[in-house]
Amino acid sequence: MRSKLVVGNWKMNKTPTESAALVQAFLRHADAKAGIEVVVCPPYPSLGVVRELLKGSRVFLGAQDVFWEPSGAFTGKVSASMLRESGVEFCLVGHSETRGRFGKLEVPPTTLPFFSETEETVNLKIRSLLFHSIRPILCVGETASERESDATESVIEAQLTGAFRGIEGPELAVASVAYEPVWAIGTGNTCDASEANRVAGFIRNWLQGRFGSDAEPIRVLYGGSVKSTNSEELFHQPEIDGGLVGGASLDPMEFSRIVMSA
Ligand code: PGA
């Protein structure tokens, strides 16, 4: 039996001072209950302060991205060993926003090449995280136009195949996969719970086909406009082991309600 996992992705929000206030407020309302793992992923500059505040709680520290090389002339990048020493235990990989696939575009289209994650970079990042004992949370999902052209399964299959290329089953016991339909991210258009369950089941089948019984501990999450009004229904679908929460994780009361609903 897999325990539930609820992850808050703060994206590019909250300075270190604001991060401290958010995490303190969240911990006042809800500490993680036994049987549920909770992770918060603040921006890099807030990792230190959030780590200190999480000490003694059962909430884990996560990061939003990583660069795969151990060190070197890679201006602006952060390695897995740096994250590990900063107390990071989970890390998102291949989020649609790092892939340049936005549910709601808030940057000029000409800047999209800046968001250029590929299947290959996702794979390199997962390998580097596993090597440093950080648990990867791989994000996969289709855009609205891919869904309309019945490509949901083929897009997700290609993302899973690329992400896990050359990685063996037992190593991946610590990983999770988040089904995040791009059209549901930051748009308020949550995926219908039964459809999210169906796609999560597709991901589970793929994992079983690729890794056999080693796939059993890998959790499949749902993400995309999760709120306290829909989280209970989503998280209790048989194929869904928890959620990846963006906007709603910035409100401590709301995020506590979402965690409680798991
Ligand atoms: P959202 O974001 O909850 O704001 O839709 C989810 C995510 O991007 O992980």
Residues found in the chain:
262
The residue contributing the CA closest to ligand 1 atom 3 is: 246
Residue 224 CB–ligand 1 contact under 6 Å = yes
Reported as half-sphere exposure (CB side, CA atoms, 13 A), residue 200 has a value of: 28
| Cut 0.85: pTM above it | yes
For residue 128, what is the enclosing H or E element? helix 119-131
Question: 95 in the Ramachandran plot: left (φ > 0), alpha (ψ -120 to 50) or beta?
Answer: beta
**In the chain, at which residue ranges do the beta strands (DSSP E only) sit?**
4-9, 36-41, 59-63, 90-93, 135-140, 176-179, 219-223, 242-245
Task: Spot the catalytic one: 95, 142, 146, 254.
Answer: 95
Residue 182 CB–ligand 1 contact under 6 Å = no
CA distance linking residue 150 with residue 54, whole number of Å: 43
One pLDDT digit (tens) per residue for the chain, 262 residues: 799 999 999 999 999 999 999 999 999 987 556 679 999 999 999 999 999 999 999 899 999 999 999 999 999 999 999 999 999 999 999 999 999 999 989 999 999 999 999 999 999 999 999 999 999 999 999 999 999 999 999 999 999 999 999 998 888 999 999 999 999 999 999 999 999 999 999 999 999 999 999 999 999 999 999 999 999 999 999 999 999 999 999 999 999 999 999 9
Mutate to test the pocket of ligand 1, among 92, 185, 250 (most ligand atoms within 8 A of CB): 185
Residue 8 CB–ligand 1 contact under 6 Å = no
95 is catalytic: yes
